[in-house]
Amino acid sequence: GQQLNQSPQSMFIQEGEDVSMNCTSSSIFNTWLWYKQDPGEGPVLLIALYKAGELTSNGRLTAQFGITRKDSFLNISASIPSDVGIYFCAGQLVSGTASKLTFGTGTRLQVTL
């Protein structure tokens, strides 16, 4: 099965810095989702994007649904230590009544003081 390309794979930043990551696909999606996963836990939904060009914020997080519907971007402003974790993008393509997700490979974020 397809996995989306996410970059960067990992990043070390200092507290207070802004962070940007992106996700690209060879196929289009109806919806883009961004999840954060803490070690040993299940992913938690951060932001959902529903139409091309949409820009949505959730606190210090801002995500965009690319115009081509094949990519998405996530920005975190003024990072703090609890931002540490793995961030996954996911493209959603509705098939029947189930929402199948295709996940990215993840961006591991580490924040230093």
Binding region for other proteins (CB under 8 A): 1, 3-4, 6, 30-31, 33, 35, 40-45, 48, 50, 88, 90, 92, 94, 96-101, 103-106
Report residue 16 as tokens: 């207070």
| Residue 112: closest CA among 14, 38, 11 | 14
- Least distance to other proteins from the beta carbon of 103, Å? 4
- Least distance to other proteins from the beta carbon of 47, Å? 9
- Least distance to other proteins from the beta carbon of 58, Å? 13
Instruction: Report the largest interatomic distance among the alpha carbons of the chain, rounded to a whole angstrom.
Output: 47
C-alpha angle 44/2/67, rounded to 5°? 75
Coil, strand or helix: which one is 81? Answer: helix
